[in-house]
Each structure stands twice: as structure tokens, then as C-alpha cells.
């Protein structure tokens, strides 16, 4: 069973015909969902507006007020990449609410897979700043809601860009493990392997930067060799995925070389980190080639739902294996240095 939160954002929050973060992205995603021919196994849940309490778990009150006021005054450019229009405040709150509604639906049924089909995306939004096309951090709002109920949350981010907002929000939170693979160098310039989390959550940030041209086998290697040991120790109750498709080789904003089959393979791999059925939710992030977005969505969801695997083959033999090994060594050094620092603080 597939539970779709939304879709929302197919008409609102329009930055014009030349901005890559287009409303038509939702149409491409939903075409990929329809291609699965799920019938009664597809359930859609309405995207409510996330309320102030839900948003304030991850965003500052001042930022929320400023964003609302900016939109009410007609919007404009928030930075060189990020816009807001008069309807963006409601669109962003519905995007955040879609994740909360999807989790509620999964809790009620205790089985199925959740897919939050919403824009604007979220993983670059920090506690007090919009950036990278993102206004509110949708996946962070959902994770914070789960931790407020006592759950431990794994966030896997395979978007081509590093989710700096998600990392910063949960940097010192012992109930959230953030694991990211991303192209390096690339916007926003964060996500080094030596970034391992704050003193209260040491080791709960895992970054594996990979070079342009990296193929799917490199991303799988990163998750298996760098991410999985931390994941097994953490033992999450929920698995949330920042599901960007801009690592596809056809995407205009990235230079990784993944295929539809790679996303299917990654989805199957990451789903195994969940403790039981009904605990995996994907959140739409990037993906800016409509055709690749459609086919990647179909392949990813099919893998999670036990459907056909007749998609493009996973890719291999690109550069990056040495980067994974280097990331593992850099992480180990950073953790060792942090342990020494923590011990010194205790004895002061």
C-alpha cells in the first residue's frame, strides 16, 4: 500500500517559467505514481496546514513571522536562488503538513509506504533562514513531531545537494541520526565527512561527499560502509528519506550519474533499516528533469512495494570509491578528536 501525502504545490508557489523549482514537478511525480497502476492500494491524504506549534519545533518564531509577513506583502526574492510569492506561506505550511498527515495515516494502518508529494522542498531550510529553493524544512518538522512522541528517527538524504538545514537543526539532537550522500563540491558547500554532530549527538551526523560522475554503486557503498554501522547502533523507530532525484544523470542541476534503477536499489536498501513495515516515509526534495523525475519515482516506489524491477539497470564503475574510504577515515579521526575534547571538558 502506498500512502501519498498531498499532492500539494502543483499550482501554488510559482517562481515563473525560468525557475527550475516548477509547480509542474508535482505533475511529473504524480504521473510516476499513476504508472504503478496501484488501484485500491493507493491512498491519498489531504495536506493540512501545519500549525505554529508543529513548525516551532524546528524553526524560530521570528523566522516564521518574517516569512509570513514577507509573503503577505507580495513576496519576492529571498536570495539568489529562493523566492516566495503571495501564496507561498500557505504552500509551505501545507508541504510541512503533508508529512505530518502521512505519518498519522501510517500510524493508523501500521503498514504501507509513505510518500510526501509536496513543494516547496525543505532540506536546505535552517531554523531561521530560507535557502536553496526551501522555505520550511518539511522532513525536519516530521522528524521533530516523531521525537516529541518518544521515537528515534533516521533521516537518509540522497539528494545530490547536502541537506544543510536538516543537519543543522538536528546537530545536537540524540534522537535523530542524519545520513547524507551528496556531490562535492556543490551547493551549499556543507557536508564534510568530519562533520559528525554536536556534543549531545556525537556520531549522529554522517556525511559522505562524492565527486561528479559518481555512479550508484558508490552511493550504495557509502551507505553500507559508512552509514550502516551508525544506523545499526542507533536502532531507529522510523526511517525518513529526503528523496531528491537530482542525482539522476539527466538532471540539469547535478553531475552525478545515477539511473532509475539506482534509486530503486537505494530505496530497497534504505527500507531495510526500518524496524517493521509502515515505518518508511519518502519526502520529495530535488529533481528537475520531468522525464527522469517521473521514471525515477516509479522505479523507487515499485522497489518499496514489491513490484516490477524492469527498469534501467543500476550504474557502476564511476569515480568515488576512494572518496567513500576517505570519508570513513575522516569521520573516524573527527570522532576520536571529539572524544578527546569531551574528556578534557569533563575534567576541567
Catalytic residue IDs: 124
CB 94 within 8 A of CB 9: yes
Question: DSSP label at 248?
Answer: B
Question: DSSP label at 39?
Answer: G
Q: From CA 139, how far away is CA 114, in angstroms rounded? A: 12
Q: Pairing state of beta strands 113-118 and 153-157?
A: unpaired
Which cell is 153 given? 528517527
Output the CA angle 240-110-39, nearest 5 degrees. 90
Q: Which helix (H) or strand (E) holds 208?
A: strand 205-210
Q: From CA 82, how far away is CA 99, in angstroms rounded? A: 22
Question: DSSP label at 333?
Answer: H
- In the chain, count H helices and then E strands: 11, 10
Question: DSSP label at 4?
Answer: E
The reply to whether omega before 188 is within 30° of 0 (cis) is yes
CB 209 within 8 A of CB 315: no
Q: Which residues pair with 85 in a beta bridge?
A: 75
Which cell is 185 given? 563540491
Of the candidates 64, 75, 72, 122, the residue with the CA atom closest to the CA atom of residue 98: 122
CB 213 within 8 A of CB 319: yes
Q: From CA 205, how far away is CA 176, in angstroms rounded? A: 9
Amino acid at each position: 500500500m502506498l500512502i501519498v501525502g498531498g499532492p500539494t504545490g502543483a499550482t501554488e508557489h510559482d517562481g515563473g517559467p525560468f525557475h527550475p523549482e516548477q509547480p509542474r514537478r508535482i505533475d511529473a511525480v504524480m504521473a510516476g505514481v499513476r504508472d504503478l497502476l496501484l488501484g485500491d492500494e493507493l491512498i491519498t491524504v489531504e495536506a493540512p496546514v501545519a500549525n505554529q506549534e508543529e513548525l516551532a519545533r524546528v524553526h524560530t518564531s521570528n523566522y516564521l513571522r518574517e516569512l509570513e509577513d514577507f509573503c503577505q506583502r507580495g513576496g519576492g526574492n529571498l536570495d539568489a536562488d529562493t523566492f516566495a510569492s503571495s501564496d507561498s506561506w500557505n504552500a509551505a505550511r501545507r508541504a510541512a503538513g503533508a508529512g505530518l498527515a502521512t505519518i498519522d495515516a501510517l500510524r493508523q494502518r501500521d503498514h504501507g509506504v509513505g510518500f510526501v508529494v509536496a513543494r516547496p522542498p525543505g532540506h536546505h531550510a535552517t531554523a531561521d533562514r530560507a535557502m536553496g529553493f526551501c522555505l520550511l524544512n518539511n522532513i525536519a518538522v516530521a522528524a521533530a513531531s516523531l521525537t516529541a512522541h518518544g521515537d528515534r528517527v533516521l533521516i537518509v538524504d540522497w539528494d545530490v545537494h547536502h541537506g544543510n538545514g536538516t543537519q543543522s537543526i538536528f546537530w545536537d539532537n540524540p534522537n535523530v541520526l542524519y545520513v547524507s550522500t551528496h556531490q562535492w563540491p556543490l551547493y551549499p558547500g556543507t557536508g564534510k565527512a568530519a562533520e559528525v554532530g554536536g556534543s549531545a549527538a556525537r556520531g549522529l551526523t554522517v556525511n559522505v561527499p562524492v565527486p561528479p560522475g559518481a555512479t550508484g554503486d558508490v552511493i550504495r557503498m557509502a551507505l553500507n560502509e559508512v552509514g550502516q554501522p551508525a544506523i545499526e547502533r542507533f536502532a531507529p523507530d522510523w526511517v525518513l528519506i529526503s528523496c531528491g532525484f537530482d542525482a539522476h544523470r539527466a538532471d540539469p542541476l547535478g553531475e552525478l550519474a545515477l539511473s532509475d534503477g539506482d534509486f530503486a536499489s537505494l530505496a530497497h536498501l534504505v527500507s531495510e533499516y526500518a524496524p517493521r513495515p509502515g515505518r518508511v516515509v519518502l519526502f520529495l526534495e530535488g529533481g528537475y528533469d520531468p522525464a527522469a523525475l517521473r521514471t525515477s519515482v516509479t522505479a523507487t516506489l515499485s522497489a518499496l512495494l514489491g513490484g516490477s524491477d524492469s527498469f534501467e539497470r543500476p550504474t557502476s564503475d564511476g569515480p568515488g570509491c576512494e572518496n567513500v574510504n576517505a570519508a570513513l577515515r575522516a569521520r573516524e579521526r573527527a570522532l576520536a578528536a571529539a572524544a578527546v575534547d569531551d574528556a578534557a571538558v569533563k575534567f576541567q
